[in-house]
Structure 1
Amino acid sequence: MTLNIWLNRTYATNYWFLQMLRSNPDHRSVRLFATHTDETSPVLQAADVALPEPRLTGDAYVDWALDFCRTHAIDVLLPGTGIAEIAARTADFAALGVTVLASPAASIALLDDKCATYASASRLGLPVPPWRQAQGADELEAAVASLREELEPDETICIKPLSGVGAEGFRVLSDNPLSLDDLLAPPAHRVRLDEVTAALRTAEGADRTVPALMVMPYMASPEISVDCLSDPYGELLAALPRAKDGRRRTFLDDTPRAIDIARQITGAYQLAYLSNTQLRWWRGELALLEVNTRPSGGLFAASLTGVNLPWAAVRLAVDGDAGPLEPTLGASFVTVETLVPLPAAPTPSVPLNVNPAPPATVGLTGDQPLVRGL
């Protein structure tokens, strides 16, 4: 029996996520569905059935998703867009026979707020750096001044929105004026505090709502990203820690503390199926950076460990058993961009494409691992 699996709007590197589901070790027949508001998304080219998404939010989006599942007899949904709202209505999906691969809605909402995450993790005894929350120019100036009193002179402050994906809104504060070397260097996330406050005051003067910001020290590399598989109650079944230091990526086999922290996170918040815990070094110790209640964009690199985490999550949800989970850690790799040919522009009201199963050699505009020996 063919298993119908749907990934709604998601990021480009999930092209490889779909490929891993198709080449699953159980040789299970799957029919892969992908939807997106952008017809150029590489994920659409990896699916068997690719369809456009409406630009909806909230309950209206969930209602559309329920109708999509009903129309296409979806068995498993791995939500990206609208994950919190979808998770809050998993019973509606279950009534249609759809298994949703998502954590509890309350955990998703909490961990989507970076300051709330730190406050909660701190109460649990998990390591977090000092932080402040600020909304508006005056609060930001006060928060930066307050945090500087806790930091050493050579420690740098950064800011980012309480909720966001990737590096959206992330900036490192610098008091140094722009130099010629800065001008000729690759683009950086550095900005002066007075530039930020000026932008906030301009927005406030125009009656725009400015987002709340997290103010915290910029923690040292390497960043460690732990891809996690856990059961519906938060018990960790597999953890693959990847260190990112410049261009080099390495699956760590000598940092059990990273896995310990990830285990505490998944257990405390009952994170289900696929999640990602990000860590950095703070004054010589690993500390929490943030938690993603969804698979990371780099999860495809897990294939280098010999474990197919996307399929393990689907198998766990459908059969109650994730299958063999014996990763081999230690490999290093780099990522490169490749190409995905796009079809001709679709005719309005016509599906974007219904693809035959694409060959595993097709590339994407995104990241693909190349193995490097240690």
Structure 2
Amino acid sequence: MTNVWLNRWFSVAYHYTNLIRNNEDGMKFTMYGTHPDPRHMSLQACDHAEVEPALPDADYVEFCLEFCQRNSIDVFIPRLKMLPIAAQVQRFESIGTQVIVCQDVPLLKKLMDKHEFYESVLETGIMEMPDYYVVNTVEQFQSAYAKLVEKGHKVCLKPTNSEGGMGFRVIDNNRDRLQDLFGAINRYVSYEEVVRLLSSVERFDDMMVMELLEGYEYSIDSLANSNGELLAAVPRRKAGGRLRLLDPVPELLAIAQRVAETYRIPYNFNIQVKYNHGVPKLLEINPRMSGGLHVSCLSGVNFPYLAVKSALGMDVPVQTPHYNILASHIEQPMLMKEMTNP
């Protein structure tokens, strides 16, 4: 029996856990999960679950090491605090735990800071980038906004160190604010609102002011072996409502190959791109499983399990995904179970 632990993850870790357990090789796993919320959805598929503490980086790494040793964890799949964990990966390996994380700490640090990583991609030239500026004063924001508008762009903004859609806003000066007040919550703000808010402080955390990309957005779920050699890539996009299309766009598959060859990110990673005027441009690269990875597994590639298999030193061949799959999902009620190890 092989013991696998996922620390604080998103709710979709429920699917990752079941994908690892219900693998095509019939390999047996005991699944461990931790989260600050004892009733979090990610824990419901686990064989053993515990509440994890809120700790600073160094103390959290010690908690992780103790948890792995106490539970004889063979494979640890972290999301929370990947960077300090990666910096101590040899300590995990010394107690027999393989960690599914990018062990190139300088690269991982870049991947988690959009400005640093954008600069890196610009140097390599492996894909197109949106026009952007990094600002931390209102005057810099005003200058960046003016330059982007002069180039004919619509403008959006996002913190450089945010995850997913956190902090993303689109500048739109033609909104009916009263109608917005009575409508759904949205991501639109006016230029004047942004200037007013940013003027309230002398400096703020780094923020990217960039070209708004208005075409299709794709998540390219990618799998590599422990050496960073690409084994599979599945471009996935929204196809209206809850529909998702697994779409084998040649230029996106080529981007995944170039990213793998350039950065050698091991195991699971996700490339987010969005089109503008027919050109796919980089949004971000996440060195972890994506929130929609379970949908991409409908391609026949069991991304979470194959990453675990590779981490255990087993051979994982290049995969042949099935594409042109239209997928969706519905909610399903379920009975919650209490933790086995409160």
Q: What's the TM-score, normalizing by structure 2?
A: 0.94
1:184 offset after TM fit, Å?
Answer: 4.5
One-letter amino acid matched to 1:123:
E
> The residue matched to 2:223 in structure 1 has which SS?
strand
One-letter amino acid matched to 1:250:
L
1:177 offset after TM fit, Å?
Answer: 4.3
> Quick one: distance in 2 between partners of 1:146 and 1:184?
33
| Map of 2:293 onto structure 1 | 299
| Map of 2:313 onto structure 1 | 319
Bigger drift between 136-145 and 235-244 goes to 136-145
> Quick one: distance in 1 between partners of 2:145 and 2:110?
24
> Quick one: distance in 2 between partners of 1:260 and 1:87?
28
**Closer, same or farther: CA 323–237 of 1 in aligned 2, 3 Å:** closer
> Quick one: distance in 2 between partners of 1:339 and 1:161?
36
> The residue matched to 2:312 in structure 1 has which SS?
helix
- Structure 2 gaps, min length 5: none
> Quick one: distance in 2 between partners of 1:217 and 1:69?
44
Is the counterpart of residue 117 in structure 1 residue 112 in structure 2?
Answer: no
One-letter amino acid matched to 1:295:
M
The percentage of aligned residue pairs carrying the same residue is 32
Counterparts of 1:108-257 in structure 2 under 5 Å?
Answer: 108-125=108-125, 126-150=127-151, 152=152, 155-179=153-177, 181-202=179-200, 204=201, 210-247=204-241, 248-253=243-248, 255-257=249-251
Q: What's the TM-score, normalizing by structure 1?
A: 0.86
Is the counterpart of residue 93 in structure 1 residue 80 in structure 2?
Answer: no
Q: What is the CA deviation profile of residues 55-110 of structure 1, one whole-angstrom value per residue up to 9, with x for unaligned ones?
A: 01311111110111011100001110011111111111100111011112221110
> Quick one: distance in 1 between partners of 2:300 and 2:239?
22
| Map of 2:255 onto structure 1 | 261
One-letter amino acid matched to 1:136:
T
| Map of 1:73 onto structure 2 | 72
One-letter amino acid matched to 2:189:
V
Q: What is the CA deviation profile of residues 15-54 of structure 1, one whole-angstrom value per residue up to 9, with x for unaligned ones?
A: 1000101101111110000001122310111100010111
* 2:231–2:317 Cα contact (<8 Å) kept: no
CA RMSD in angstroms comes to 1.8
1:164 offset after TM fit, Å?
Answer: 1.4
* 2:233–2:253 Cα contact (<8 Å) kept: yes
Is the counterpart of residue 275 in structure 1 residue 269 in structure 2?
Answer: yes
| Map of 2:61 onto structure 1 | 62
> The residue matched to 1:110 in structure 2 has which SS?
helix
1:221 offset after TM fit, Å?
Answer: 2.9
* Number of equivalences: 339
Q: What is the CA deviation profile of residues 158-189 of structure 1, one whole-angstrom value per residue up to 9, with x for unaligned ones?
A: 10110111111110011124355444443210
